[in-house]
Amino acid sequence: MTTAVDRFRAAVDRRDLDALDDLFTEDIRLYSPVKFTPFEGRPMVLGLFGVLLRTFEDFRYVGEFAGVSQTTADGTEAPSAVLLFRATVGGREIHGIDLLHLDDDGRIKEFTVMVRPASAVQALGEAVLAGLVADGLVPAP
């Protein structure tokens, strides 16, 4: 049986934003390692994914864990998956995790990204901000 997490991984591997659109709830929240407040709503999160998919070099998932955890938004317990990834941004190797929380219909309602090391977080933040500005999703600083 193919799960939402399997479909998410396949969509990221194919860089398929239409497939991601079908997997996100309308009110999805994405918590970024470079921004204190979350990105909110499907249009903004899809726009962010468009930038991320252009920014990451040789992005690949290298592991997965599943279970249940509390969401950040309201503390309710939800089916969850942790996806471990590796990538390169601006010549810097990144190690990270994506934490996905699913709603009752199996769609992604909350997404948290954690990245290390700090130099990679800085490089990622600068590249993503430039992409968001270029795509008109956020104003220039």
Q: What is the 3-state secondary structure (H, E, C) of the chain?
A: CCCHHHHHHHHHHHCCHHHHHHHEEEEEEEECCCCCCCEECHHHHHHHHHHHHHHCEEEEEEEEEEEEEECCCCCCEEEEEEEEEEEEECCEEEEEEEEEEECCCCCEEEEEEEEECHHHHHHHHHHHHHHHHHCCCCCCC
pLDDT tens-digit series, residues 118-140: 988 898 899 999 999 999 999 98
pLDDT tens-digit series, residues 31-82: 999 888 999 999 999 999 999 999 998 999 999 999 999 998 888 899 999 9
87-99 burial, b for 16+ CB within 10 Å, e for fewer?
A: bebeeeebebbbb
What pTM value is reported for the model? 0.92
Angle between helices 42-55 and 118-134 (to 10 degrees): 120
